[in-house]
Structure 1
Amino acid sequence: MDSGEPSPPADVTPLRQVPGLAELVVLAAGCSFGDGVLRVFTEDEARRAQGLANLMFPEWAPRLRPFAQDWLGRLYALDLHRGALLLLLEPGSGGVFELDGTIPDLFDQIVDDPDTFLALDLFTPWRAAHPEPLPTGTCVGFKTPLFLGGDGTVENLEVIDEEVYWSVHGQLWAQVKDLPPGTPISGVEIS
């Protein structure tokens, strides 16, 4: 564990139906791991993350229960309308991805394949160039989103306020998500 004191929710009873969630929040809520590569949310952080997700993916708003975030600002969440299916919400790619298994399965997969689940192959060189801890409320985001042709490289990363990142990417995503693949974009305007 890198930092934080576990801060479980006051009442975990409603969470007991989701395999592994109650245990995760009781043991790790408010803690970050792997030099900041992953953070498990407190109740307040989960509510804040819900608001961020709503900015970019409003169609998912009533269904989500975020429980963790990685260094790229990606949210790990439950789809409460589909039996607590695990989801990964990516502001950089504009994607919402279904993940197989339960929360314990996810953490096993993270340990077995951190490059796929945490982009550790990108985190390692980024962290070498930026050894300072990330300030609270920030993430490492793509300067040019992947959905606008940005590269998944260290050179395309910057430390950015999470709310700004999710809001700006949400506005951009709303403008391009329904365009056919390969549609040229002549300019970007953020209001």
Structure 2
Amino acid sequence: MLLDRFRNDFDLTDGQVSDAAEFVGLTPLQEVRARFGGCTFRDGLYRIHGESSAAVAKAWVDDAFPEFKGRFEIFGFDWLGRQFAADRARGEASDPEVMLIEPGAGEALEIPVPFSKFHDEELVDYSDEALAVNFYAQWRSQSPGSLGFDQCAGYQVPLFLGGKDQVENLELSDIEVYWGIMGQLRAQAREVGLGNPIAGIDLS
């Protein structure tokens, strides 16, 4: 699974791709993680998890979206800190369909594409829909430089609390801190109901 179209369209800006022959026989997700784990593309537009970072991201997603706990296998993330996951509840067992988990919107959105076609088709042919490429270009014009593997452009006021989906509402964030805050805010928003005030959160 060489992902030729993806590799031609997405410049590698950090990390190392492995083309070792021993990856033959792995599932599509296992092969992508083995070949591209830890790699950053287009200065942080899209990144692929290695085993350790995928496990950490899974814990964030399980905490923030407990209704889906145990259902996802996280494999990648974008510049907004949104996590992409293989959804065990949809598609074939060896090639599940993809889910996009959005901390700033407080939503998990189904992408009706099997994992094996996600990088070469969805990210190449529908890059703006999948990765908000045009929004990324607007943000980069005001915040030049590559995103570190532990960084994202996070919403200062999340969309599920009335924040605006615009560059002025974004700030450079540590992705782990961002997910922790968004998870706590989402939990409180779900408890009190939409439209009701949130008294505060404990960030300790």
Measured against the shorter chain, the TM-score band is 0.7 to 0.9
Aligned pair partner of 2:104 in 85, 92, 99: 92
CA offset at residue 184 of structure 1? 4.2
Map of 2:176 onto structure 1:
163
- Matched-pair contact (CA < 8 Å) for 1:7–1:29: no
Give me the TM-score of the superposition, normalised by structure 1: 0.86
- Matched-pair contact (CA < 8 Å) for 2:113–2:122: no
CA offset at residue 14 of structure 1? 9.7
Distance in 1 separating the partners of 2:188 and 2:53: 28
CA offset at residue 52 of structure 1? 1.2
Please give the secondary structure, in 1, of the residue aligned with 2:44: coil
- Matched-pair contact (CA < 8 Å) for 1:7–1:42: no
- Matched-pair contact (CA < 8 Å) for 2:47–2:149: no
Aligned pair partner of 1:4 in 15, 23, 27: 15
Gaps of 5+ in 2: 1-11
> In the alignment, is residue 80 of structure 1 matched against residue 74 of structure 2?
no
CA offset at residue 73 of structure 1? 0.6
Distance in 2 separating the partners of 1:77 and 1:91: 13
Distance in 1 separating the partners of 2:131 and 2:112: 15
Provide the aligned length of Structure 1 versus Structure 2: 184
Task: State the AA in 2 paired with 1:176.
Answer: A
Give the 4+ runs in structure 1 shifted more than 6 A.
11-14
Distance in 2 separating the partners of 1:180 and 1:14: 48
> In the alignment, is residue 31 of structure 1 matched against residue 31 of structure 2?
no
Q: 1:169 to 1:13 in 2, by over 3 A?
A: farther
Task: State the AA in 2 paired with 1:99.
Answer: I
CA offset at residue 6 of structure 1? 3.3
Distance in 2 separating the partners of 1:50 and 1:161: 16
- Matched-pair contact (CA < 8 Å) for 1:140–1:160: yes
1:31-50, aligned counterparts within 5 Å?
31-50=39-58
1:8-157, aligned counterparts within 5 Å?
16=27, 20-82=28-90, 83=93, 84-107=96-119, 108-157=121-170
Gaps of 5+ in 1: none
CA offset at residue 81 of structure 1? 4.0
Q: 1:103 to 1:85 in 2, by over 3 A?
A: closer
- Matched-pair contact (CA < 8 Å) for 2:43–2:147: no
Task: State the AA in 1 paired with 2:14.
Answer: S
Distance in 2 separating the partners of 1:63 and 1:15: 21
Residues 30-67 of structure 1: CA deviation (Å, up to 9, x unaligned): 11112210001110111111111122012222122100
More strand by proportion, 1 or 2?
Answer: 2
Please give the secondary structure, in 2, of the residue aligned with 1:101: strand
Distance in 2 separating the partners of 1:46 and 1:167: 16
Please give the secondary structure, in 2, of the residue aligned with 1:86: strand
Task: State the AA in 2 paired with 1:38.
Answer: Y
Q: Percentage identity across aligned positions?
A: 36
